[in-house]
Structure 1
Amino acid sequence: MGRYHAQAAVAAGASISGVVDQDFEAAKSLAAKCRGATPATRLEEALKSSRAAVAHICTPVSTHSDIAISVAKAGLHALVEKPLGVSAADVRRIHQSFEHEPPGRLVCPTHQYAFQRSTRAASAMLPTLGALKQLAFDICSAGAAAGLITADELIAEILPHPLSITQQLVPGIDVAKLDWSCIRSASGEWLAAAP
């Protein structure tokens, strides 16, 4: 996922100052594609020598909290792959760190699908189609986490996308208040439905 973030950041005019990965060869490979980026295997080392203003956290969700808190303490802003944390308590810890260490740092989870051209087009078209009776999503991974996490962990990381798209397509809906039915038919497959 880091390579997608790096490509998007560079396309938006940013420069990448460092790439951290437990696998040094992977860090070195991505850093080589980002002019001037320094590869590293340890976050602490990268943060000490960083000239960055923002850290992109593109790791399994179970690591987000500790990494985000380290980034906040280093004084950087953070863009974190969704979901922000594994629990509400995790998310509160992250927010408290960005409010206090030092104050004024921003943290933002990514929810890019809700803002893509196809979602905006569907949102504009919905009023012409009549009452919405059902909304279904089939979402597949682009392979960014291939072999690094289990199928169920991958589904948990993808699940925020249909929720954010639903909120874009049905303005004012509170997905947290819907009566959801979830069925796990097989490893890596979840069916979630709300009346």
Structure 2
Amino acid sequence: MKSTIQKTMGWASRPGARALLVATLVSWPTVSWAHPGGADAGFLKGLFHPVFGADHLLAMVSVGVVSSQLGGKHLLRIPATFVAAMLVGGLLGMARWPMPLGELCIAASVAALGLGIVTTTRGSSPFLLSGCVAMFGVFHGHAHGLEMPHAVSPTLYAMGFLLSTTVLHLCGLVLGELAAGRESLSRGLRYAGAAVMGTGMVLLVRGAGI
């Protein structure tokens, strides 16, 4: 247990991880300043939107896990790619830009990322994973933007779901780092990935009306 804690603390001491944690802590007080029912409520709407959707929640935590499994310089690059792509998708959604089969693609992303948890290792291709994550991020962001409530600030709404996504990625990173080098935890994480993949397949079948 002590070595696991030391490993996690070592990861948290990395410059990129510190930057993400600081950004999260600095932004978080905005939640308590939001005024329910007003334009500022957009931040809370955006913040909780990814959390209360199983497809978004599973996908975003999974991105963090596979990034940890890939390791190295990709530890933070993969989540950053997802967040950047999601911002683009969110802007397209807010502009009501049509994106056919969006829900099916989101369900497929859950299944694919679950498969990623099962199969990703240090030697996996970062280019394939980055490309898939970028594509998935656009679809998830588009859904967030499309479902933005009326009479809220688009900027605060986007800040909310971007912050929430970052926190979920960090949760996945921590899970992956805790499991690294521990056979039982690593095996359990891959079983969890299989469960995520199965959930994505169920969502995909339901969405297709099969």
- Taking structure 2 as the reference length, what is the TM-score of the superposition? 0.23
Higher RCO (C-alpha under 8 Å, 6+ residues apart): 2
The structure having more radius of gyration, on CA atoms, is 1
* Structure with the larger strand share: 1
| More helix, by proportion | 2
TM-score, normalised to structure 1's length? 0.25
